Amino acid sequence: MGSESVFNSNGDSSKNFNKVVKEIFDLFEIFVGAIIIVTIAVAFLFRTVGVDGRSMTHTLQHKDRLIISSFCYQPTVGDIVVLNLPDRFEMPIIKRIIANEGQTINITNNGDVYVDDVKLKEDYIHDKTLKKNYNSYPVKVPKGCVFVMGDNRMGSTDSRDIGCVNKNNIVGKAILRILPFSSFGTL
């Protein structure tokens, strides 16, 4: 009888060991699966970008880190977007969409911005908007394009300089500031 109880004890121990090993492997599979899902989401749905320069001050600061997404994105007035314009800039740039295709933008001599004859309420800017030399106003935004400007109107190269931007050049919409941590939040 004594040997029988030892045998049962060893059998239970072996079963417990196998159960623990199985649980560890199950957790490992879940962990690997989560890493794969996050990697796919980051690769195809989201990207991180850094702000380089001061054209979006005071909304964004130089060296802020952002998460952008292009998944099912349709450009909307007011969106902050990253643009890839390799024929004009060495790196992607970040701007705000002011007008969409078919809309008419006008900048008055006193620095007010109108879209379709409605004055924009732009709490995010601190300086008046200058017309610059590229466009004669009003400007109707062509099909497939957007009109973009930086929030730091005195320190931004944007559609006032380079004209309307093709929507195909939009890399994605800025959705979240992740750095610095003190400014973490949605945009």
Instruction: Please give the positions annotated as active site.
Output: 55, 95
| Amino acid found at 56 | M
Distances in Å between the Cα of 17 and the Cα atoms of 10, 23, 28, 29, 85 are: 10, 10, 16, 18, 59
> According to DSSP H, which parts of 70-178 are helical?
159-162
Distance CA 157, CA 97 (A): 14
What tokens were used for 60?
């964004």
* Closest C-alpha to 49, from 89, 95, 72, 82: 82
Q: Which residue(s) pair with 52 in the sheet? A: none
